[in-house]
Amino acid sequence: MRTHTRGAPTVFFLSLLWPLLSLVVVVAAAAVEVDPSRGIPFMGGNYNGHPMLYFSQGDVEEMQYAATGTHRDMARRIREAGETMLEHPEEYLPPWSPAEFSARWNEVYGNNLGVLSMFCLLYPHRAGAVDLAKDYMERMAAQPSWLVKDAPWDEVPLAHSLVGFATAYDFLYEYLNKGQQERFIQVIGNASRLMYEKSYVRGWGFQYLHNHQPTNCVALLTGSLVYMTQGYLQEAYLWTKQVLSIMEKSMVLLQDVTDGSLYEGVAYGTYTTRSLFQYMFLVQRHFAISHFDHPWLLKHFAFLYRTILPGFQRTVAIADSNYNWFYGPESQLVFLDRYVLRNGSGNWLADQIHQNRVMEGPGQAGKGQRWCTLHTEFIWYDPSLFPKPPSDFGTSQLHYFEDWGVVTYGSALPTGTNHSFLSFKSGKLGGRAIFNIVHRNKYKEWIKGWRNFNAGHEHPDQNTFTFAPNGVPFITEALYGPKYTLLNNAVLFSPAMSGSCFKPWAGQVTEACDSKWLKYKVGLAADTQGRVEAAMERQGMVFIRGEGHSAYNPELKIRNFQRNLLLLHPQLLLLVDHIHLDPDSPTRAMSAFFHNTELPFQGTKIDGVHGAFVSHREDKYKMFWMDDTGYSNKGLVGYWNYPRGYPYNGSNYVNVTMPLRYPHTRVAYIFFGPGVDIQSFSLRGDDTRVDIYLATKDHTYTIYLLTGEATSKPLFAMVLLDNKKIVFEKASAVMDSSPEEVEEYVSVMEDNLQHVKPVFQQMERHILGRVLNNASFRKTAERLLQFSDKKKTEEVIEKMFAMSKKQGKSKGGRKVNLGEKLSESLPDIFAQIELNEKKERQRTSKRTYEDSPEEGDAESRAFMDYTDGRKNRKGAFVKGRKFKEVHMVATAGSEGLSSTASYIRLFLLLNTATFFLLLAVILTRFQRGRSLHTQRCFYTILLIDCFILLYLYSSCSHTQC
């Protein structure tokens, strides 16, 4: 009997353990999933002083070590910046004089202070560094205002100063004396308070996805976090909630942008992401709000990678722009790699950009911006991600940004022959997402038309293009300048309509005659849109078609303004404009402009065909044009000077004017580099198509371009290259679509706002526990209750003080966390100040509208987000959906949750290994020749280990380890 039942306990035990084995498999699978925090430890309101914004005091030594090893390249750049400031302090220190400080745009002072403080932190023994930083801060603290005198309505300079000053305060707190700590925190509080007040009446508080919004909000958030750490919880709580109520709406709206782009272009895009990525990091670290799986963020790398010209020095420069990037983008790229991509591509592109940086001349980084992202680049860099280019690097790729309305081809290549770049834009004002939100009344709880967006940095540039054969900028954007159609590679029509800036010519309806900003809010401008109809590559040739008639005044009665681009060879581009007029159209002529910001155009003529060219070193880059009757009018070449107040002097241009005929006119332009020798060029057309004949020294091209609305063949175009046929079929046309409104978007935003209060409540407990039996106890309590009812405040403080003295006298017994006990004795200081603030905002909202109808109208009520979902500790309801309850699970130590989770994870792994080892021993060693008593002992040990595993798994799940 014993022989036949010896294995029975094993079988029984295995059946008992089967659910546990399944659980272990689930744990292993969960461990493979991506951590939503991306390794950023959640502080949970448990801070041991400064630094605390981006890292803790315990991380500083590790950072100093990394500066000599894995991060040495970035550390070298930080050190060069610091040494430069030390060598020339008079050039970089802010002036003492308030008049001088505010006399001009002064963001440079805040921008440079961040990197200077990081320099001091990494190299604490560098003589004079800390003294320079303290002198820097003293000078900034001495200013009555950080605003610019001539632009008191613009808080952006203040934001740059605040974020730099607060960051330096956090990094260098231990180096400041008591007097400086107290004075500087008051400076931070005063600046943050002003930013908070202005957030209700300035555009940046309600104009979403605009670069000013994250810039100012992150400054206020940074000031709030530092202010909070010093015990000013009530005000800091209000400020933090206001920042999150603004920015979390932006994050929801950004989900509609499906291509990773930003409508203000690459240059201003880096202005936005400089702060937006700081926001994402800070809210994860301090409030456990993760945006790292945001669909826009997953696509954003393409916005940086697909817009760089060959040579990695310039970008496509659409909208207000410099030659490349305003801020970074190395910092943004290492951020993307560490927290999103995890494949080395971000680190690789950052390396390429840095290695090819223009140090002198056009394209060099601005003095006020060149260093301001070095400290975040150092913090976010992950050296374990070996730099690796994307898999398609080295070959020209076509990319379509469907929201932005931009097509690029040939981006991010090394410089070289036939490494050419082409771009085209024809899209909706503000991008598809914003345009559709406005026109389809999406997100109506938050959005009231164009009032909630700002397209001022866009240009009247529908159906524009750029071309850089061999990477040489031949046809370029005209950069940051007046918002005139003629300062883009676009077309004007004659005669002029009402509101035209340059009669007798009519530009696009968004152009602004007397403003630095694009028209977009009302009238015809508010409905402006272009459309990319086709973007495809076939056998090395590229075809792009855009439709732009909706960008012009309907009184011109232009049925179609179709612009076709055919890249026949890397150095040969054919552009064909097709203008179809209505029968009663008054339009009689068109005037096309082509720009080069650096190289002047010179006129030329061959066999009666007019053209122009630019010279680049020994090479000439040429263009010629004619219409479908064979007519070629002489172009006008010149230089357009920009008015004062713009960062650039102007642009070289060639202007081609052609007559228009009813019903349609086609004008063809060819652009080619030195590697192509054009020998003949002609075209002819009929009602539905135009045929172009081109002969070069090496090839002949016959292009059949179908321009009619209804064509006999389902084609856009067909090219005969010698004896080879290349077809661009209509079946591959661009299909326009738009994402649906984010489901229950108000609740999505409110859920994230619920993360704030528990952190501040934990901070309240932490502060009270830290100052028990301390001379500063009363002062700390008064600071906590600063904005509470004065009579009740005195009573509460006396009660708390008595409790602390009683606790101090007690001996032995059970240890009680008096910080928590005192916190419970306090009134809900956050609910109270929220209620008071809500009443105050309701009282002043009408006055705000009357004082500033442009920015503070009655809809400002939409931005009061003071709902408290934790009043009854049971959750709150918005539109029938319950908020998720946010629990504080951080420990009291500075490592808090992070270290606890690490230990639990370690014990879980060790115990899992022990469990399987014991199971293997039982199955292989104790089946024969062992007593039943011995087997029972091992089964008991295994069962105990099972319960330990279950406990560890439960703990791991609770702490999200």
Catalytic residue among 50, 212, 399, 419: 212
DSSP, collapsed to helix, strand or coil, labels residue 420 as coil
Q: Which burial class, exposed, middle or buried, applies to 452 when counting CB atoms under 10 A from its CB (0-12, 13-18, 19+)?
A: buried
C-alpha span between 903 and 950 (Å, rounded): 16
Each residue of 157-189: b (16+ CB within 10 Å) or e?
bbbbbbbbbbbbbbbbbebbeeebeebbbebbb
Q: Does the annotation mark 745 as catalytic? A: no
Is 54 marked active-site? no
* d(C-alpha 906, C-alpha 908), whole Å: 5
User: What are 762's two structure tokens?
Assistant: 């934990």
Rounded to the nearest 10°, the torsion over CA 494, 498, 502, 503 is: 50
Cα(918)–Cα(932) distance, integer angstroms: 17
Considering only CA atoms, which of 130, 129, 127, 140 is closest in space to residue 93?
A: 140
Catalytic residue among 54, 92, 232, 268: 268
Q: Where in 617-753 does DSSP place strands (E)?
A: 619-627, 636-641, 650-659, 664-672, 678-685, 689-696, 700-706, 715-721, 724-729
Dist CA 684 CA 671 (whole Å): 19
- 150 bridge partner residues: none
Two tokens, residue 771: 């100052």
Strands 700-706 and 715-721: antiparallel
Determine contact, residues 347/329, Cβ cutoff 8 Å.
no
Tokens representing residue 513 in the block: 């005659």
- Rounded CA separation 674/620 (Å): 6
Q: How far apart are CA 204 and CA 155, in angstroms?
A: 9
Task: Determine which one of 196, 480, 745, 953 is catalytic.
Answer: 480
**Left if phi > 0, otherwise alpha if psi is -120 to 50, otherwise beta: which for 746?**
alpha
Give the span between the Cα atoms of 159 and 726, in whole angstroms.
Answer: 54
Strand 881-882 and strand 877-878: pairing? antiparallel
Supply 755's token pair.
């993360």
- What are the angstrom distances between the C-alpha of 314 and each of 403, 630, 794? 22, 37, 63
Beta strand pairing call for 724-729 and 541-547 = unpaired
Indicate if 294 belongs to the active site.
no
User: What is the three-class DSSP state of 768?
Assistant: helix
Q: How many whole angstroms separate alpha carbon 139 and alpha carbon 169?
A: 14
| Residue ranges of E strands in 173-213 | none
Are residues 220 and 189 in contact, defined by beta-carbon separation less than 8 angstroms? Answer: no
DSSP helix/strand/coil, 406? strand
- How long, in residues, is the chain? 961
Backbone angles phi, psi at 557, to 5 degrees: 55, 55
The C-alpha angle with vertex 271 and arms to 266 and 276, in degrees rounded to 5, equals 110
Report residue 544: phi and psi, to 5°: -135, 135
Rounded to whole angstroms, how far apart are CA atoms 370 and 657?
42
Angle at which helices 777-784 and 790-809 pack, to 10 degrees? Answer: 140
440 by Cβ neighbours in 10 Å (0-12 / 13-18 / 19+) ranks as exposed
DSSP per position, 597-632: SSSPPEEEEETTEEEEEEEETTEEEEEEEEETTS--
Active site residues: 212, 268, 480
